Amino acid sequence: MTLRGLVLPVLLIGALLAPAGSAAAAPQIFPERFTLTVRLLDRAGQPAPAATVPSIDIFKLDDPDFIYRGDPGRIVLRQGRYAVHATIRTPRPGLEPSYSFISHPDLRINGDTTLTLDARLGKPVGLSSDDPAARGGAYSFHRYARIAGETVGTYEEFDPRYHPTYAATVPGAGSPTFAYSQIRRAAEPQLELHLLGADGFEVAAYGFLNSPVPQLRGTFTAVYAGGGTTADLARVDARGKLVAIELPSGTTYAEAFRRTANIKAAGAKLAYVVVSPASGDWIAAAEAEEAPALPTLEGNTVTGRRFLARVKAAERTVSVVLDRRPTRRYELAYGGDTDLSKARVLRPRTRDLAAVRTTYHGDAAHPLREVSAVTTIAGGDVFLFTSEPTVAPTTRLEYFTPGTWRLSACGPGTGCASTTERLVRGRTHSVAWNKAVAGPTFRGATEDRTYGRRPWAWRKDGALDLAFPMFGDAAGRPREALPEIGDEGSIALYRDGALVQRVPRPSRARIPVQAGESTYRLIAEAIRETDWWPLSRTVKADWTFRSSAANEGESLPLVTVRFDPKVDVLNRVRADRRISIPAYVERGGVSVRAKQLSVWTSADDGRTWQQVSVRRTLAGWRVDVRTPPSGYVSLRARAVDTAGNRVEQTILRAFGV
């Protein structure tokens, strides 16, 4: 699916060409080109103000590769049928602007044409939950065109607290190729700023670049301190207050950060920054390690400048909430039809949604996780580009519009994992993220630039092409080792007992091999030693299998053993107890019948090992383990499937006690 914001404007221009040395070649006939003039009117009937981002998207209905993205005015197009989408901003005195999504889904161009898209056609659209505390989050409106079996689309994303939204299609211009959808993630706001008093209002403020975000909730005095220089701050009492400053257009981030250091040195609790004039901007990006010296808010919005004017006139009392640990999560998505002639403001009841009891396992010292969700409506992916923070360890109920969702969770100490779930209205489902034991798995597929979507480990074009998700979670969701964050390890391949190649990295390798059938031994080791990854510090797998050129294009028959113990949210089991751990012998992430499974445990990080009892069950295997009084349990397993493929797998610090 093609999305606005990820493509460049494209104007296709034809030409008459003849092959070299072939003067008699027949001329090629190209469709004529015409001028489309697009005019936009806002909800007051005035010409729409210039936008900071392109406001027009045009798709050719018989060519999914044609996408124009730009501004209204004169646009040269070939003869044909087009979907034209506009996003129209309407200013509102003292408030943030509204946005109207106006579309002509099937415009026929066979001569010079003028198209007026009028925001006054728009009917209200929006989504919210019935939980009044979940008023934050994000909202996005998507419009699609189904072209030659493909879906292309455009989207806009907003903070739903500040921007009323409207949508419509041009009357009489319906098309079966057109569809729309809207998606909302509803949660408690991460940042709230209110000016208190009889003339008070909520301020559309955002976290300044790289700003620290402590847990903060309370009322403060807000004071104006000019440009935040030491001289400006010497004229005010900043102690314990929110200090608002105004920086000239062209200020660098580095200089802005220095001004926040001045504010902190003056004893302030918070900083608030606005660029003047309103059209101004920062002229230099910040280095990754640069950050404000204290929590800093940015108010380059209509209400943000209005707030600055009030504080500039006199000290004011404000309320502030900074909280990146929301406890609520609603993922709402609706649409799919072609009719935008009526209002589409929806407020589904929680009881009509699908509930998901979600557990975020992890290390309490590194709690933040980022979660996201994608569903499909009318053949197009529906999603929000902004992820939502949550905390670990915790278990909570989350709510989704019934349907199929692709869920993802990322965070320090966990990597990223995803799962696809069919969620049913009125039912409570369960999903656990980052649950021990983390180990190798080959479920699903990976992607690369050469082959696109492909198996994790396969034989292709005369080589073993290898990608190793050595840190998959207990549910079998793959997660790769990441050398860029410091993961170490190696990959070694042996053919008929002789070393073919050793690669000094733990994640990916491509090793050429001979065509004849041979016995291969493949050893992969991933080492992650960092404070935010307390478990599965070393994961090693030693595979034996046969392969030849006859297996070209096939996955390698690599067997893995997946353990799924009953652990708490910190990935611990009870100490000094006998426990039974479910285990599964898998190939490609799917359970296979094993001829043999043997398991050993260690309570001293692998210095000594004790073999434990293993028994077969209908679902797989059970491993009986006596946990130590404290510390960690490491696991070693050997398995052989019915085809003779073997693995010896070692996981140091598989779970805690």
Query: pLDDT (tens digit, 9 = 90+) per residue, 226-263?
Result: 999 999 999 999 999 999 999 999 899 999 999 999 99
452 CB contacts (<8 Å, ≥6 apart)? none
Q: What is the pLDDT of residue 281?
A: 64
First-residue to last-residue Cα distance in the chain: 46
pLDDT for 1 beyond 60: no
Give phi and psi for 230, each to the nearest 5: -65, -35
Strand 518-527 with 488-495, pairing: antiparallel
pLDDT for 28 beyond 70: no
Single pTM value for the model: 0.89
Q: What is the pLDDT of residue 174?
A: 82
pLDDT for 8 beyond 50: no
Q: What is the pLDDT of residue 384?
A: 94
Region for residue 254 given its phi and psi (left: phi exceeds 0; alpha: psi -120 to 50; beta: otherwise): alpha
Instruction: Report the alpha-carbon distance of residue 425 to residue 31 in Å, rounded.
Output: 50
Dihedral Cα 506, 507, 509, 514, nearest 10 deg: 80
Q: What is the pLDDT of residue 41?
A: 97
Under the banding of pLDDT at 50, 70 and 90, the label for residue 277 is: confident
pLDDT for 6 beyond 60: no
Cα–Cα nearest to 390, from 43, 634, 137: 137
Q: What is the pLDDT of residue 51?
A: 77
Instruction: Report the alpha-carbon distance of residue 167 to residue 408 in Å, rounded.
Output: 30
Mean pLDDT of 475-481: 95
pLDDT for 211 beyond 70: yes
Mean pLDDT of 29-56: 88
Q: What is the pLDDT of residue 286?
A: 66
pLDDT for 159 beyond 60: yes
Q: What is the pLDDT of residue 26?
A: 43
pLDDT for 90 beyond 60: yes
The conformation of residue 472, written as its DSSP 8-state character, comes to: B
Kindly report which listed range (413-417, 524-528, 633-637) carries the lowest average pLDDT score. 413-417
Q: What is the pLDDT of residue 532?
A: 86
Type of residue found at 139? Y
Inter-residue long-range contacts of 580-584, CB under 8 Å, 24+ positions, other chains counted: 580/622, 580/623, 580/624, 580/625, 581/622, 581/623, 581/624, 581/625, 582/617, 582/619, 582/620, 582/621, 582/622, 582/623, 583/614, 583/620, 583/621, 583/622, 583/623, 583/637, 584/619, 584/620, 584/621
Under the banding of pLDDT at 50, 70 and 90, the label for residue 40 is: very high
Q: What is the pLDDT of residue 518?
A: 97
Cα–Cα nearest to 372, from 224, 187, 554: 187
Q: What is the pLDDT of residue 283?
A: 64
The H or E element spanning position 58 is: strand 56-60
pLDDT, averaged across the chain? 91
Mean pLDDT of 332-361: 94
Cα–Cα nearest to 225, from 140, 323, 308: 308
CB 294 within 8 A of CB 257: no
Burial of 110: CB neighbours in 10 Å, binned 0-12, 13-18, 19+: exposed
Under the banding of pLDDT at 50, 70 and 90, the label for residue 197 is: very high
CB 461 within 8 A of CB 432: no
Q: What is the pLDDT of residue 17?
A: 25
Q: In the 3-class helix/strand/coil scheme, how is 510-534 assigned residue by residue?
A: EEECCCCCEEEEEEEEEECCCCCCC
* pLDDT tens by residue, 357-406: 999 998 877 778 899 999 999 888 999 998 988 888 999 999 999 999 99
Under the banding of pLDDT at 50, 70 and 90, the label for residue 472 is: very high
Q: What is the pLDDT of residue 551?
A: 97
pLDDT for 16 beyond 50: no
pLDDT for 446 beyond 60: yes
DSSP lists the bridge partners of residue 439 as: 472
* pLDDT tens by residue, 113-151: 999 999 999 999 999 999 999 999 999 999 998 888 888
569 CB contacts (<8 Å, ≥6 apart)? 359, 360, 361, 362, 392, 393, 394, 395
Q: What is the pLDDT of residue 11?
A: 25
CB 360 within 8 A of CB 391: yes
In the numeric block, which tokens belong to residue 381? 């992916």
